[in-house]
Amino acid sequence: MPVYRPPRIASSEITPEDVYLNRRRFMQAAAGAAAGSIALGAAGTARAEPLTAKPSAYKVNEPMTPEKIVTSYNNFYEFGTNKADPVNNSAPFKPRPWTVVVDGLVNKPQTFDIDKMIAEFPVEERVYRMRCVEAWSMVIPWDGIPLAALLDKVEPLGSAKYVAFETIVRPEEMPGQTGLFQPMKWPYVEGLRLDEARHPLTLLAVGLYGQTLKNQNGAPIRLVVPWKYGFKGIKSIVRISLTEHQPPNSWNILQPNEYGFYANVNPEVDHPRWSQATERRLGGGGFFGGSAEQRPTLPFNGYAEEVAGLYAGMDLRKNF
C-alpha cells in the first residue's frame, strides 16, 4: 500500500462549512421543480448540478471534511491506484445515460434509469462519518436513496439472504482497467447481507455536497455503508442482485487474509500492516502541517447503537 500523504491543498481553497451550508440552501431553492434533472455537457458527461434532497435525521455533530479533500483524495482503482488518479483521470467517464439492473431472487426484476430513480425515490441529505481501511477518515454530506426503498420495489423472495453489487467495466474511459498490470479482476464486486442492505443507514448515494455525484466519487450511483470500511462502498453500480449465498467481494478475492466480507469498523482487530485502534481525520488538526488529526477509532465507526444488534452472537474477529 502507498504511504499516506495528505494532498497539498491551500487553506484558501477549502470551502468553510458555513459557506457550504448557505450555498446548499441557495442551490436547493434554485433547483425547485427541476429536482432530479441532470444537465449534460457536449460529451455526455454529467456536470455537477444542484440536487434537491430532503433533510434527514442522520447527521453527526462533527465538522464536515472540506469538499476539496473529499473530491480530490480518493480510492477508485478503475481510474488508477494513487489517491489523485480518480480526479485526474475521470473526466472522460460518461455517467449518463445510466441504468441499474436489479435482479436475482426477486418477484419483480427491474432496470432503473438513474434520473428516473432520482425523481421517483426519496432523496435524503445525510452527514456520515466515513472510515477508510488505511486508518484515515472523513465526515461527508451525502445525498442518496435508502437502499431498502429500492429493494422494496423489486420484492425480494424469502430465499434471498444477500445482496450482490457490480460496477461498470469501460476500459476506454477507465484507464485503471487497461494495461498489462491490473490491480484486481474487473468488474469490481461487493456484497452485503440482506439485513445490512435493508438497514436504514445504508444508502445509494447520488449526490455529494448538494450536487450530483462527481465522477471521481463514484458517479452516478454508489453504495454508502457508514459503519463499514470504505472498500465496501462500491462505485458506479450497474447491477444489484439478490442471492441465497454469500457473494464474492473484490478485496477479499485479492487479499483474503487482509480483507473480509463484513468489513465492520472494529478498533480491536488490526489490519496485518497497521493498527485500527486510531484514525486520522482528514481536514482536522494539523492537516496542513503534513498530518491529519489523530483520534481513537469508534466501534462500528460510531454507529454501534444502531447496528451492533445485526451481529449479536457473532465472533467479530473471525468475521472481519
pLDDT tens digit sequence for 16-60: 444 444 444 444 444 433 333 444 433 334 456 889 999 999 999
Mean pLDDT (the chain) is: 86
Decide if 286 is inside a domain. Answer: yes
* CB 219, CB 236: distance < 8 Å: yes
Decide if 101 is inside a domain. Answer: yes
Flag whether pLDDT at 317 surpasses 70.
yes
Bond into 226 cis (ω within 30): no
Decide if 2 is inside a domain. Answer: no
Cell of 32: 425547485
CATH code of residue 44: 3.90.420.10
Which residues fall within 8 angstroms of residue 71, CB to CB, at 6 or more apart?
87, 208, 214, 216, 217
CA distance 173 to 310: 39
For 288-307, letters b (16+ CB in 10 Å) and e give eeeebeeeebbbbbbbeeeb
Decide if 320 is inside a domain. Answer: no
User: 84 is in which domain, residue-wise?
Assistant: 11-311
- Which stretch of DSSP H or E encloses residue 68? helix 67-70
Decide if 282 is inside a domain. Answer: yes
Nearest to 79 by CA among 97, 69, 92: 92
Q: Model confidence over 119-150: pLDDT tens digits?
A: 999 999 999 999 998 889 999 999 999 999 99
- Which stretch of DSSP H or E encloses residue 23? helix 17-31
CA distance 20 to 25: 9
CA distance 161 to 175: 35
CA distance 57 to 86: 31
CA distance 267 to 304: 12
Number of domains in the chain: 1
pLDDT of residue 281: 93
DSSP string, 235-267: -SEEEEEEESSPPP-HHHHH-TTT--SS-B--T
In the block, cell 473529499 appears at 70
Identity of residue 91: A
Decide if 4 is inside a domain. Answer: no
Decide if 153 is inside a domain. Answer: yes
* CB 299, CB 267: distance < 8 Å: yes
Flag whether pLDDT at 10 surpasses 50.
no
Flag whether pLDDT at 72 surpasses 50.
yes
Kindly state the percentage of the chain with pLDDT values over 70.
82
Decide if 319 is inside a domain. Answer: no
CA distance 70 to 287: 14
In the block, cell 425547485 appears at 32
Residue of 198 and 289 predicted with greater confidence: 198
CA distance 27 to 141: 15
pLDDT of residue 134: 86
Confidence band of 166 (pLDDT split at 50, 70, 90): very high
Residues in the chain: 320
CA distance 124 to 146: 8
Q: Model confidence over 255-288: pLDDT tens digits?
A: 999 999 999 999 999 889 999 999 999 986 544 3
pTM, 2 dp: 0.86
pLDDT of residue 97: 98
